[in-house]
Structure 1
């Protein structure tokens, strides 16, 4: 039997969901499905994403969800030897790449994206992001482009939800 692939979710997926199409008051099923599929060992993120999400206001719905609803183990630590080694390879590629401006390199170095790619590379996970590829960009280093460089599969929120067979059915009301 083939082992199911896991999904590693970027912070922009949660932020965009909260702000737009899966707001907590509009579509609580999205948030419940993330937790459900985590418990099925299919959906995770990295501890650096948790840090990015908690950097928001303490009263925000997303911060409350991360603190109160997300189960232990959802945000996996990235400080293991193999992941650190993969992260080092990624950062060397970014820092040595002549196309990117220094400001883009510095921003990438302080975010979670490199850790997401490193963890996914080591654990054969699929990175889930709303970012769009921009291989010619000098000002931004886009997560899909780094995934492509290191042969890490990536997709968007909707591809993950479809692969997990998630459905949000209307149950009536106004």
Structure 2
């Protein structure tokens, strides 16, 4: 399985329970799975984290981290358009700003049975148009998704994961 991380997965981890300076084991675990090819971020999503000004942005800018974490694929623009269509017709420029890079994340998983989106966004079936949440758009596209907690549990993170 390839887990495609939404930017909020790393951002929320760093800002809450798994800060880089407090739980470095978590970040080594992420890199371990990235090196194994089970955790990646589409370039457009990676750029969202990289654009920050905090310790996490500095961490992702490290050449080795970037090499490991970034999905080495160009976006399939037909799939991106397919995902964008799930937000509705007549999207304005303001809508596109609201939607952001999410269609690239979902498109990277679209049509791949062995890929899953990991996002901290919460499903909200009542949201329409540009305010639709990643889980709802994933559902509309038939793309499997899960929360960061489900991801952490599924890949069994523990602070001694790398101990013999």
In 2, are the aligned partners of 1:132 and 1:142 still within 8 Å (CA)? Answer: yes
Tell me the distance in 2 between the aligned counterparts of 1:144 and 1:116.
Answer: 11
> Which runs of 5 or more residues in structure 1 are unaligned?
170-174
Tell me the distance in 1 between the aligned counterparts of 2:49 and 2:89.
Answer: 29
Divergent runs of 4+, >6 A? none
Picking from 3, 7, 30, the partner of 1:7 is 3
Picking from 164, 168, 172, the partner of 2:159 is 168
Say whether residues 1:84 and 2:73 are aligned partners: no
Aligned-pair RMSD on alpha carbons? 2.3
TM-score, structure 1 as length reference: 0.81
How many residue pairs were aligned? 158
In 1, are the aligned partners of 2:35 and 2:68 still within 8 Å (CA)? Answer: no
Structure index of larger Rg: 1
Residues 1:91 and 1:155: Cα distance change in structure 2 (over 3 Å): same
Partner of 2:101: 112
Partner of 1:25: 21
Partner of 2:117: 127
Deviations 1:91-131 (A, max 9, x none): 1232428xx898445421xx221011111113331100110
Instruction: Identify the structure with bigger relative contact order (alpha carbons < 8 Å, sequence gap 6+).
Output: 2
Tell me the distance in 2 between the aligned counterparts of 1:163 and 1:52.
Answer: 25
